[in-house]
Structure 1
Amino acid sequence: MSADELDAIVVGAGFGGMGAAIQLKRCGYERIAILDREDDLGGTWYVNHYPGLAVDIPSTTYSYWFEPNPTWSRLHAPGAELKTYADRVADKYDLRRLMRFNTTVDGARWDEDAERWRVTLAGGETVSARFLVTATGYLSQPRIPDIDGVSGFAGTMIHTARWNDDYRAQGKRIGIIGTGVTAVQLIPELAAKADELTVYQRTAIWVVPKVDFPIPPVIRRIFARFPAIQGLLRLLTDALAEVGISTAVVNYRWTRPVNSVATWVSKLHLFASVRDKRTRRMLTPEYEFGCKRTTFNNDYYRTFTQPNVRLETEGIDRIEADGIVTTDGRKTPIDTLVLATGFDLWEANFPAIEVVGRDGRNLGKWWRENRFRTYDGVTVPSFPNFLNLASPYAFTGASYFTMMECQMRHMDRLFGELQRRGSATFEVTEDASARHFERMAKRLGNMVYFRGNCAASRSYHFRGDATIVRPSSRGRALRESTNFPLSDYAFR
């Protein structure tokens, strides 16, 4: 197929990109190229494979509604099973033949005369298509901390998003920087093997007990034979996830007592796990529950009672070739440096590539000058035939898959109207985008990020007056993605 015969280019071969491709095929578009910089599909579930990796919400909820997976081994499946699920989805929906791996996209520009997107790849090659979909996810750009000397460390240095499966922690002196969700899963695994583990904590994290259990093979067989039974379990786990995010995050203004109860549960979990008052004080956050991503784990707090584990809350001054020096002048010798420092979301991921639309409008520059905004978490004015999936105000329902299926519904309605009219392009109007943004902005004051005590949280969920979380319920998001006014788009 010629590069100029493509209907659509999808950037990213994770669950977002695959969902977009499935919907495009449902709408009748078959000439699709899915481009990904990695050498296999799966997105974050291919890139991340550190010890202890697991889904942090029930696996039944963390999957496509239209493609249930009856083979989950646990309620919270280990990461490898998500990669297997991604492979199965790609095979079932014949997506593999559309994928082009080891392909880095540098940028994309709208060609007004040809009414096509020109996409530039690393190395200088250019491909084009009628439609462009960026599905790079929220957590795709690993963040290296700006610490003096980090590049000069002479031992083994590993970022959790680039884990070395050949690495062995036995007998090692390990320093790990970061105590976010990834670190909470990884630290107990390292502590069980390392001679010494020093955990450098800048911001403590609320951790609540994790309800997890194996799913017996007989239950899995029942799920496979009677999908409706698994669907009932899905309804339950979806409802619990929705209650959590809608109360603790979205509607905090009216449901603040829920956050107080969750805080009490976390403190009780900490008290039962750690008897030393000083350590408990160090592990207790100074911000409100809900400001950061909720973390479920049964072993994290107990890890800090082990004799080979030390919690360090003094700031890091510099990293030397053989150790870490804190701001009070103490040096801890290490031979392995683990960076659990997360991802650069707001600076490097919005957008993940340079996108230039109509009249030379640069998406990244426009967002930063006009506040982060998207219409229904998908489209932006002056960017015809373009959908940005992992956007500000897009995440809903506590699951990436809920967000994705809202966007698939939006695509179905949008492309259906485009075809009904026989039009070449769609573009959300400036007025519709502004009205949608005003509705979102009015609801922000109800959220924990802007009404609660989140100043010390350093959460990637929000920046300034913008958030990745949609300030509405899951049900409302689904309704709006299915029934948005078609007059909000200009079809040409």
Structure 2
Amino acid sequence: MTSEHYDAVIVGAGFAGIGAAIQLKRLGIDDFVILDREDDLGGTWYVNHYPGLAVDVPTTTYSYYFEPNPNWSRLFTPGPEIKQYADDVADKYGVRAHMRFNVAVEGARWDEEASVWRIALAGGDTMSARYLITATGFLSQPRVPDIPGITEFEGTLIHTTEWDDDFDAEGRRIAVIGTGATAVQLIPELAKTAADLTVYQRTPIWVVPKIDLRFGERAKRLFARVPLTQRLLRWLTSSIYEVMVSVGVRHYRTFRGRFNISASDLAKLHRFAVIRDAELRRRLTPDYDFGCKRPTFSNGYYRAFTKPHVHLHDSGIDHIEADGIVGTDGTKNVIDTLVLATGFDLWEANFPAIEVIGRDGRDLGKWWRETRFQAYQGVSMPYFPNYLSLASPYAFLGLNFFNTMEYQMRFMDRLFTEVKRRGATTFEVTEDANASFLDRMTELLGDSLFTNGNCASAHSYYFNPAGEPTLLRPSSTETAIAEASAFPLSDFQIA
């Protein structure tokens, strides 16, 4: 058993952890380590490498604001390029040297007497740190459905987060469980070569056409030589998405859902243009408002269901047997491959992703569940000194994670700069500031789609187990960045 001490420990080597590390370096804090349970950096973009993987917001927007990439191949870039971008940024800013892989963090406890975090690692080793930052992401804990008999299946079983790159779908009889964003990308790829493909759907998803532009060599050279051109394109795509989220989500009641109705009409036209079977169109049509669940872009998803060897099953699964799936209607589908596109266990296993015990023995996960899911500015909680959780309630801005990372880096800059100026050793958000922020977020949600729309049947991870839509922060990117850059320092006890 060994024990080491650092100024800061960052848990997670995805884009959040990389961003936090860059900000620490800018603040002159170099004695830190980044721990990750995987064997490489990139977070979800390392774990996921299934066929068809691509970013579902324009990559002109999906990047650090301070590090635009002129080499994207498409407007909606394939996953391997996103992973390469993570590698390049980590190398450029010198944070890879701080990373340790294949290290699982089991928990952390605040030592009041020593004013440090005691961090427990799998295997019995420990660490201590003045500051603890969890950057475990929102999509880090794969969810395996609790279906009777699933462990008895004798064929090939693959979860999309553990894709086997040697797997060949040609000639296979495949079942895919799930129709979320991952499935929308994967299903058209499997449909190209599988002998038979059955998709098991619980909840239909809104799918709109994908306008995916290719960036040629001329465009790449222009972006590299005149960076302003790429920044202008980023501003354009970011502004479009900001307006969409503002009108369709945050201010749903004000605009009476007009944008959502228009977007759902576009999805309906898309289905009608591709699928001639009226009954199949009906079964693929959601009965919840557009935006309650993350919508997706695809030109191939609906088209896949028009192929004779692709089938939709939406009457439910009763159980799984060694060689197939038995539906609630009594029918059995014999398969040799079962693909779980069932997403992530967002709330139960991810809030928090590790056990965190703060001052006076407060258990973060227990406190969230016994009171309400809450975090001041989406990162800080009372009774948890010197701790920032970058994947917290009210942290995620709109549809683009990098907007979230930008405001969080600004928040770190303001907070740590003040701690350093005062020569202090600890910071902790006050209960009054936290309560005031929670009240304001709750009030803002009163105008949102999640409060006023028809979301009951969406089964959306935007909603926590208590039914509150506390994942997304109901404010604009501009407002979040402004608040993170100028929040009242009196909101923290700094000593």
Q: What TM-score do you get using the length of structure 1 for normalisation? A: 0.99
Letter of the 2:214 counterpart: P
- Please give the alpha-carbon distance, in whole angstroms, between the structure 2 residues aligned to 1:146 and 1:398: 29
Structure 2 partner of 1:472 = 475
* 8 Å CA contact retained: 1:5, 1:31: no
Unaligned runs of 5+ residues in structure 2 are none
Quote the offset at 1:86 in angstroms.
0.3
Structure 1 partner of 2:296 = 295
Quote the offset at 1:466 in angstroms.
3.6
* 8 Å CA contact retained: 2:450, 2:469: no
Structure 1 partner of 2:110 = 110
- Please give the alpha-carbon distance, in whole angstroms, between the structure 1 residues aligned to 2:334 and 2:111: 56
> 4+ residue stretches of structure 1 with deviation over 6 A?
none
* 8 Å CA contact retained: 1:259, 1:289: yes
* 8 Å CA contact retained: 1:291, 1:448: yes
- Please give the alpha-carbon distance, in whole angstroms, between the structure 2 residues aligned to 1:449 and 1:5: 44
- Please give the alpha-carbon distance, in whole angstroms, between the structure 2 residues aligned to 1:146 and 1:444: 32
Per-residue deviation, residues 265-319 of structure 1 (Å, max 9, x unmatched): 0000000010001100000001000101120001101111100100000110000
- Specify the SS of the correspondent of 1:231: helix
- Please give the alpha-carbon distance, in whole angstroms, between the structure 1 residues aligned to 2:43 and 2:4: 26
Correspondence list, 1:83-482, <5 A? 83-255=83-255, 256-463=257-464, 464-482=467-485
* 8 Å CA contact retained: 2:143, 2:345: yes
- Please give the alpha-carbon distance, in whole angstroms, between the structure 1 residues aligned to 2:261 and 2:213: 27
- Please give the alpha-carbon distance, in whole angstroms, between the structure 2 residues aligned to 1:447 and 1:393: 14
Quote the offset at 1:3 in angstroms.
5.0
Letter of the 1:54 counterpart: A
Unaligned runs of 5+ residues in structure 1 are none
Letter of the 1:354 counterpart: E
Per-residue deviation, residues 245-280 of structure 1 (Å, max 9, x unmatched): 111111111121000100100000000010001100
- Specify the SS of the correspondent of 2:137: coil
Among 465, 487, 491, the alignment partner of 1:488 is 491
- Please give the alpha-carbon distance, in whole angstroms, between the structure 2 residues aligned to 1:293 and 1:19: 25
Quote the offset at 1:101 in angstroms.
0.1
Letter of the 1:478 counterpart: I
- Please give the alpha-carbon distance, in whole angstroms, between the structure 2 residues aligned to 1:467 and 1:374: 10
* 8 Å CA contact retained: 2:3, 2:125: no
Quote the offset at 1:397 in angstroms.
3.8
* 8 Å CA contact retained: 2:174, 2:198: yes
Structure 2 partner of 1:81 = 81
- Please give the alpha-carbon distance, in whole angstroms, between the structure 2 residues aligned to 1:138 and 1:164: 23
* 8 Å CA contact retained: 1:9, 1:35: yes
- Please give the alpha-carbon distance, in whole angstroms, between the structure 2 residues aligned to 1:105 and 1:422: 30
- Specify the SS of the correspondent of 1:462: coil
- Please give the alpha-carbon distance, in whole angstroms, between the structure 2 residues aligned to 1:296 and 1:209: 6
- Specify the SS of the correspondent of 2:353: coil
Moved more, 264-273 or 465-474: 465-474
Per-residue deviation, residues 374-433 of structure 1 (Å, max 9, x unmatched): 000010000000000011111114210000110000000000100111100000001100
Letter of the 1:37 counterpart: R
- Please give the alpha-carbon distance, in whole angstroms, between the structure 1 residues aligned to 2:325 and 2:74: 38
* 8 Å CA contact retained: 1:200, 1:313: yes
Moved more, 242-251 or 350-359: 242-251
- Please give the alpha-carbon distance, in whole angstroms, between the structure 1 residues aligned to 2:92 and 2:228: 20
* 8 Å CA contact retained: 1:372, 1:466: no
* 8 Å CA contact retained: 1:155, 1:335: yes
- Specify the SS of the correspondent of 2:254: helix
* 8 Å CA contact retained: 1:371, 1:466: no
- Please give the alpha-carbon distance, in whole angstroms, between the structure 2 residues aligned to 1:175 and 1:398: 29
- Please give the alpha-carbon distance, in whole angstroms, between the structure 2 residues aligned to 1:257 and 1:97: 50
- Please give the alpha-carbon distance, in whole angstroms, between the structure 1 residues aligned to 2:231 and 2:103: 37
- Specify the SS of the correspondent of 1:232: helix
Quote the offset at 1:328 in angstroms.
1.3
Moved more, 343-352 or 456-465: 456-465
- Please give the alpha-carbon distance, in whole angstroms, between the structure 2 residues aligned to 1:430 and 1:227: 44
* 8 Å CA contact retained: 2:105, 2:122: yes
- Specify the SS of the correspondent of 1:252: coil
* 8 Å CA contact retained: 1:107, 1:354: yes
- Please give the alpha-carbon distance, in whole angstroms, between the structure 2 residues aligned to 1:397 and 1:249: 9
- Please give the alpha-carbon distance, in whole angstroms, between the structure 2 residues aligned to 1:236 and 1:342: 30
- Please give the alpha-carbon distance, in whole angstroms, between the structure 2 residues aligned to 1:4 and 1:284: 55
* 8 Å CA contact retained: 2:398, 2:472: no
- Please give the alpha-carbon distance, in whole angstroms, between the structure 2 residues aligned to 1:382 and 1:477: 23
Structure 2 partner of 1:17 = 17
Letter of the 2:483 counterpart: E
- Specify the SS of the correspondent of 2:42: coil
* 8 Å CA contact retained: 1:177, 1:339: yes
Identity over the aligned pairs, expressed in percent?
63
- Please give the alpha-carbon distance, in whole angstroms, between the structure 1 residues aligned to 2:162 and 2:344: 12
Per-residue deviation, residues 159-193 of structure 1 (Å, max 9, x unmatched): 00110000000000000000000000000000001
Cα distance, 1:209–1:237 mapped onto 2, change above 3 Å:
same
Letter of the 2:336 counterpart: D
- Please give the alpha-carbon distance, in whole angstroms, between the structure 1 residues aligned to 2:490 and 2:92: 36
Per-residue deviation, residues 95-133 of structure 1 (Å, max 9, x unmatched): 111000000000000011111001100011100110000
RMSD of equivalent CA atoms: 0.8
